[in-house]
Amino acid sequence: MDSHQEKYWDGVAEEKEFPTPFQLKEFKRHTPRERSILDVGCGYGRTLDKLHENGFNNLTGVDFSGKMIKRGLKLHPYLNLLKNKGDDLPFSDKSFDAALLIGVLTSNIHNRKQENIISEITRVLKDKGILYISDFLLNHDERNLQRYRKYENKYGIYGVFELQEGAVLRHHTLEHILKLTENYNNLYLEKTVFNTMNGHKSNGFYYIGQKNP
């Protein structure tokens, strides 16, 4: 994560609410309650708390924003939330039965960075482990088309844009997501429309895959 991105998320840690729904019913179909779950980019622990409320108790979250972690521990002191200082996950190989990646790819805009995130998750997942992703897809309204065009030359990626308050974000093609997850067996894929943290609408998706042994 770039330092300016970390500064942004630290700065909004107390005020931003992440509205992305979690597909609990579908997740439970593939992940029994006793399984170990890692939330990569857990923010303030919103999704892990939902899992805790539904009987899951082997839960771990990591986030690069120390202030997000601080907020999460204040809200949910029973959760195991950790600040992750580097790009590598601080866990041994095959440590978890399932991993969550919710709204994380959007703020790690470069292909190589995204590939490293997936690679690290794959490393710490057990064989046949479950990967749950939800994130944002490209939109086709004029507001988004204008900002995709505006920032394509600067970042070299269509779909990247800047927010006035400082974050740099990316919307994706579904083909790109499927390429990132090519080492997984696709169990569930659904396109949807999300509310964003700034009150807009955006195309998005839910994905569940199983790690190929």
Specify whether the CB–CB gap between 207 and 174 falls below 8 A: no
What pLDDT sits at residue 213?
Answer: 83
Q: Structural domains in the chain?
A: 3-211 (3.40.50.150)
Q: What is the pLDDT of residues 130-139, one digit of tens each?
A: 999 999 999 9
What pLDDT sits at residue 149?
Answer: 97
Q: Is the pLDDT of residue 13 over 80?
A: no
> What is the mean pLDDT of the segment spanning 44-56?
96
Give me the residues paired with residue 11 across strands.
none
Q: Is the pLDDT of residue 191 over 70?
A: yes
What pLDDT sits at residue 199?
Answer: 76
pLDDT band at 9 (very low <50, low <70, confident <90, very high): very low
Q: What is the pLDDT of residues 71-87, one digit of tens each?
A: 999 999 999 999 998 78
Residue 188 DSSP code: E
Q: Would you call 84 exposed, middle or buried from its count of C-beta atoms within 10 A (0-12, 13-18, 19+)?
A: buried
Q: What is the pTM of this model?
A: 0.90
19 contact partners, CB below 8 Å, separation of at least 6? 194, 195, 196, 197
pLDDT band at 123 (very low <50, low <70, confident <90, very high): very high
Average pLDDT, the chain: 90
Q: What is the pLDDT of residues 96-112, one digit of tens each?
A: 999 999 999 998 999 99
Q: Is the pLDDT of residue 45 over 70?
A: yes
What pLDDT sits at residue 164?
Answer: 83
Q: Is the pLDDT of residue 14 over 90?
A: no
